[in-house]
Chains A and B, each alone.
Chain A
Amino acid sequence: MKADRKLIQDLTPEIENTSITWYITFIILFGIFATGVYGLYQQIDKGHIVTGMRDNVVWGFYIVNFIFFMGLSYSGALISGVLHLFNTGWRKPIIRIAELITIISLIIGPFFIFFCIGRLDRLYYLFLYPRIQSPITWDVIAIMTDLVGCFLYLYLSFIEDFAILRDYPDLKVAPWKKKLYKTLSLGFTGTEKQMKILNNARTVMAAMVIAIAIIVYSVLAWIFGVTLQPGWHSTIFGPYFVIAAVFSGTGLLIILMWIFRKIYHLEAYITKRHFVNVGVLLTVIAAFYGYFTFSDYLTKWYGSIKMDSILIDKLFTDYYSLFIFANYIGILLPCIIIAFPRFRTIPNITIAAVIAVTALWVNRYIIVIPTLETPFLPIQDVRPDWITYSPTWVEWSLTLAGVSVFAMLFMLVSKIAPIISISEMQEQDENELLN
């Protein structure tokens, strides 16, 4: 398969050369990751007592991170899935980033569940003695299905690029990489027949990825929703979590667009138009997300169910600043920045996205922790760590390790495949020429 020479030269430098900055960044990230590994070793050696979790708050940072990372995986489903189905033209430069976010966060997310369970050595019991009634079993099935589906979808979108790289004689990469491209391209040459098969499969998988993503995140929400705990036992949780996930996924997409644009000098490909378009998308989703949040808390606050009132009280006292940040600033500020055209600069939109993603993490935190600190029977204990949750260094180190692995995986992938889809850009160019 042939592609425009300039396009390849613009989009492949990161595959051919590795800068010192890349190595330094990678080593720093690896150091953070190693700290996390040490934290995990401590946790396995001494037991979960080294975490801040205790008998009331049995789920802490780990579960928050789990649902957060799973939520990030939504960017792929939305940007590449939805935009593919609607054949939105401007999606093309960012489609690859979105798909990679999906896969990488889907791989990292479940690790936080592994950190959370007490007997990691018995993990295979989930397959040995599965109970269909348990939402965890639903989750295991759904996440595995989602992973397979997203891998397939990502691979389908990679084939053309692999073929282009395989047939590009001037590419200065190690022989193993060339061999890899040859194998992975499956001999694809871009004939009309092959293109038809490929496009069909991609359309089908785009639909599937959207469907399964909705299921995965609903199941995740039901882990909380099916219990009787105040604040969790809510019918709105399924769709609410789905919207929240799309929100964070979109936010992260903007952040990564900014980073890659800077590092790989992709200013010509990822333009302000992309930032504005994804930004507007973020605003629309923020509106939905804010609406769900408001609706959930309003009904709890208006009604006089005692446990709900106690929970709301707690949110507006002990968790006041977090609550305000997560549910007011985190939703309204991105909306305001993006809603007014004169604020719509690339840095502003990126800042809005950072606020949105951070606020969403905090939102997950105040969904999980305050509820567990408000059991039906009051906590009567003299041990402070049994009454209120505060994460220890082990949880922080593993959380940061998760973020660093996310970055490391992105860095590694960018060494093997172009971060912007060459084939899609080519198609776009051809279309533009035709027009």
Chain B
Amino acid sequence: MKEKVENESDGASRRNFLKKVGVGVGAISVAGIAGSTILKGNAANAKSGKKIKLLSPDGKLVEVDQDDIKPAGEIVADLKTEARAGLHNRKFSMVIDLARCKNARKCVEACQEGHLLPKDHEWLKLYLLQDDNLTSKYWFPRPCFHCDKPMCVSVCPVGATFKRSDGIVLVDNQRCIGCKFCMTGCPFSARVFNWKDPEVTVPEGHVYDPETNIPALEGTVGKCVFCADKLRIGELPRCVSACPMGVIYFGDILEDTVTNGNETVRFSKLISDRAGYRYREELGTLPSVFYLPPTQRMFPVESGLEDTDESIKGRYKNAGPR
């Protein structure tokens, strides 16, 4: 991997700060300020100079400026406003090289782990497709396509799902009413519903943010978020970093660059050299995810069925032409 590019934008550091102090929701006030008020992340504000002592969750006594104290509810609101706006002057895209995928499922595991998803709730799905009985099978990882004309967003009656300026489509599960219209709207089955209480143990002090969509909430819809939280700190999505084959390229196409963590290439060149395409272009949803056809593949398709659990193998029993 190359050296880490410095990318601590103001927004990112401010956001981290917000999140860190978000941990302090339960902080006990020493100076008598109500426990529901916590640090405000706006460093630009003029300070009153009045210091207040607070007990941080790890038991340390910290002194903060009074002006930095803000009700806990506002932090969630701030995170949501930022999550709805997106990163400035960015347009994220993914390129998935079908020639390299062998159903290693590391991407799925990383995604499940990273977003604390229950077992029956996969955001990233691996399909074994075959277009026709005259054509061959291939492995097909399917994240959310983050379409530029997202049907799911169009049909949402309450604006719980939204498209940001950087192209990412997110779900605010504190807004979602669970009508599931977006699920029927999405032609790519990218959305999953929490049919029951997901029973996830959320780290203490975790503040809900649509960019991670943690924790999942019963009766609401979840889906791949392109790891918007990672992007904000300049890191690649979890599935990209986790893939041992370098199948998934990711990048800002305004920079015309995508990387799979090992190799960094120009997006336009990769698409033109390898005849990149989008799944079901004819539907006109303009996905942000591109595929490179499985030409001269690195592994035989069958190798994807080795070393996998019976329950996983079972999924592909009936995979065939359609």
Interface residues of A in 353-374 (CB under 8 A from B): 372
Residue of A nearest to B155 (CB): A134
Q: A58-B184, A134-B157, A380-B319 known; A119 and B120 CB under 8 Å? A: no
Of A129, A372, A378, the residue contacting B158 (CB under 8 A) is A129
- Cβ of B104 within 8 Å of any chain A Cβ, yes or no, is no
How many residues of A are in contact with the other chain, CB < 8 A? 48
- Cβ of A123 within 8 Å of any chain B Cβ, yes or no, is yes
- Cβ of B220 within 8 Å of any chain A Cβ, yes or no, is yes
Q: A310-B322, A376-B187 known; A382 and B314 CB under 8 Å? A: yes
Nearest CB of chain A from residue B75's CB, rounded to whole Å: 21
Binary flags per residue of B180-198, CB closer than 8 Å to A gives 1, else 0: 1101110111001111110
Determine the distance from Cα of A229 to Cα of B184 in the docked complex, in whole angstroms. 7
- Cβ of B218 within 8 Å of any chain A Cβ, yes or no, is yes
Nearest CB of chain A from residue B22's CB, rounded to whole Å: 23
Give the segment of B1-9, B88-96, B170-178, B300-308 that binds chain A: B170-178
B219 near A47: Cβ-Cβ < 8 Å: yes
Contacts of A54 in B (CB 8 A): 195
Contacts of A382 in B (CB 8 A): 311, 314-315
B180 near A118: Cβ-Cβ < 8 Å: yes
B184 near A118: Cβ-Cβ < 8 Å: no
Q: A58-B183, A378-B129 known; A118 and B218 CB under 8 Å? A: yes
Contacts of A381 in B (CB 8 A): 315
Contacts of B128 in A (CB 8 A): 380
- Cβ of B316 within 8 Å of any chain A Cβ, yes or no, is yes
Of A56, A123, A128, A130, the residue contacting B189 (CB under 8 A) is A56
Contacts of B316 in A (CB 8 A): 380
A229 near B187: Cβ-Cβ < 8 Å: yes
A118 near B315: Cβ-Cβ < 8 Å: no
Contacts of B197 in A (CB 8 A): 47
Of B156, B158, B189, the residue contacting A55 (CB under 8 A) is B189
B157 near A126: Cβ-Cβ < 8 Å: yes
- Cβ of A276 within 8 Å of any chain B Cβ, yes or no, is no
- Cβ of A375 within 8 Å of any chain B Cβ, yes or no, is yes
B184 near A135: Cβ-Cβ < 8 Å: no
Residue of B nearest to A377 (CB): B189
Contacts of B183 in A (CB 8 A): 55, 58
B177 near A377: Cβ-Cβ < 8 Å: no
- Cβ of A301 within 8 Å of any chain B Cβ, yes or no, is no
Contacts of A129 in B (CB 8 A): 158-160, 175
B184 near A227: Cβ-Cβ < 8 Å: yes
Interface residues of B in 141-184 (CB under 8 A from A): 142, 151, 154-160, 175-181, 183-184
A378 near B193: Cβ-Cβ < 8 Å: no
- Cβ of A212 within 8 Å of any chain B Cβ, yes or no, is no
Q: A55-B189, A117-B178 known; A130 and B151 CB under 8 Å? A: no
Nearest CB of chain B from residue A349's CB, rounded to whole Å: 38
- Cβ of B269 within 8 Å of any chain A Cβ, yes or no, is no
Q: A residues near B, CB below 8 A?
A: 46-49, 53-56, 58-59, 113, 116-119, 122-123, 125-126, 128-131, 133-137, 140, 223-224, 226-229, 232, 306, 310, 372, 375-383
Q: B residues near A, CB below 8 A?
A: 120, 125, 127-129, 140, 142, 151, 154-160, 175-181, 183-185, 187-189, 192-197, 218-221, 280, 283, 285, 311, 314-316, 318-319, 322
Q: List 20 A-B contacts (CB under 8 A).
A: A47-B195, A48-B219, A49-B195, A55-B193, A56-B189, A113-B179, A118-B180, A119-B176, A123-B177, A134-B181, A135-B155, A136-B157, A227-B187, A377-B125, A377-B140, A377-B189, A378-B129, A380-B128, A380-B318, A381-B315
